Chain A
Amino acid sequence: MKALPEILKEIRPEFDFTVSSDFIADGMLDSFDLMTLVATLDKTYGISIQGTDIVPENFKNLQTIGALLRQCGVQA
């Protein structure tokens, strides 16, 4: 199963997602990328991220996305 940094790298290969604490503010993910990321996470981990969880705060960095995945039942 792909790890989160690998998934992000596939969406935006030009960025190093391990060095940013705010992907949105740093311009590394836009709102269209977020849609792609949610769909990829759902498919990769067999989950369904709720609409109410699709907010920028949950996609700021690797930690917040990791927390969201754990909340959805994904084992870290």
Chain B
Amino acid sequence: MAPVTTVAQVFDALQGAKAGASAFCTNFFPAHAKVQGWIDHGELLGELRDLSAFFLRKDRDFWHLYFCAANVAALQREVSAIPSLRTERVAVDLVGSEAVLGELLKVVESAGFQRYARLLRLARPNQSGQPQPSADGTEVLCADKTDCQAITDLLECAFDRYADQLPMLYEIEAAIEAHQILAVKCDRALAALLFFESQGFTSTIRYWAVAERFRSHRFGSALMRHYLAAQSAVRRFVLWVTADNENAVLKYRHYGYAPDGLVDHVLVNEMIRA
């Protein structure tokens, strides 16, 4: 695969695969700014193939695979013929409703990938009677640039790099700049964080975590209450959570989140499993 140097290359490739597609299939839903960030940091490779296009995005010590194809037959034929999928560590996400993902799962599994994790999207309407910020005196702050390493460490410790799309350092810096990482600190140490992205009327929680040694202090609750209370203009709250993380799912349900029907199957290749 060759480095992608412009966002237009990505969208041209997508359009090429879509044109005249009988049953277009993809796992790539690119937002312009996100793709630009990947290109600026040299993270994105791409390859046009017959009736299809494939992209690999570098993430730490592995790659995320994205594809678009005119139909499932083209995907099956071409994905099996990409040499780097046998020599590199690669993970792939398949997103959609469970009912429509069956065929894609079979295709990707036939190319050597195995199921690794399943995530659910949860959504929460902005209800009346918003939670109020915690009254127990816990101070919730916006993280600052001195917190970057601690944020990275906490995310690496609390989440799964293959399943949870952990942010790169530049994404953490941008989120701090945008005041989208809330933090609780104890003696200047990062005890807990809530990392979110808001766009218009929708806000997405990307990560919510409490460092192990600071659990049972209700810091997570303080962060969530602060976050929900502060997003007064938001009408829809969403997030992704690992389906078998019952503790997390229960906590999100407590705050009014519920599955909205979208799932994300994460599969990894033999190089990761080895």
Bound Cα distance from A52 to B70, whole angstroms: 12
Cβ-defined contact, B29 with A15, below 8 A? no
Q: Take A12-B236, A32-B95 as given contacts and tell me if A51 and B201 are in contact as well, using a CB distance cutoff of 8 Å.
A: no
Report chain B residues within 8 Å CB of A74.
Answer: none
Contact in complex: B199, A27 (CB < 8 Å):
yes
Task: State whether A26 touches B200 (Cβ < 8 A).
Answer: yes
Of B11, B24, B201, B203, the contact of A15 (CB 8 Å cutoff): B201
- Tell me, in angstroms, the Cα distance from A15 to B199 when the chains sit together: 14
B201 to A, closest residue via Cβ: A27
A25 to B199, Cβ gap below 8 A? Answer: yes
Q: Mark A23-45, 1 if CB is under 8 A from B, else 0.
A: 00111101110010000000000
Q: Are A14 and B19 in contact (CB under 8 A)?
A: no
Q: Say whether B57 faces chain A, with CB atoms less than 8 Å apart.
A: no
Pick the most buried of B18, B19, B199, B201: most chain A CB atoms within 10 A of its CB.
B201
* Chain B residues within an 8 Å CB radius of A14: 125-126, 201, 235-236
Inter-chain contact A51/B18, CB cutoff 8 Å: yes
Docked CA distance A25–B95 (Å) = 22
Known: A14-B125, A14-B235, A27-B199. A51 touches B31 (CB 8 A): no
Q: Mark A1-32, 1 if CB is under 8 A from B, else 0.
A: 00000000000101100000000011110111
Contact of B202 among A28, A51, A52, A54 (CB under 8 A): A28
| Contact A25 B126, CB 8 Å, known A31-B29, A51-B18 | no
Q: Which residues of chain B are within 8 angstroms of A31 by Cβ–Cβ distance?
A: 29-31
Nearest-CB residue, chain B, relative to A26: B200
Interface residue? A50 (CB, 8 A): yes
A residues neighboring B (CB under 8 Å): 12, 14-15, 25-28, 30-32, 35, 50-52, 54-55
Known: A15-B235, A35-B29, A51-B21. 13 other contacts (CB 8 A): A15-B201, A26-B200, A27-B202, A28-B200, A30-B202, A32-B29, A50-B18, A50-B20, A51-B18, A51-B19, A51-B20, A52-B15, A52-B19
Q: Which 8 A-B pairs have the closest CB atoms?
A: A51-B18, A27-B200, A27-B202, A31-B29, A26-B200, A27-B199, A27-B201, A14-B235
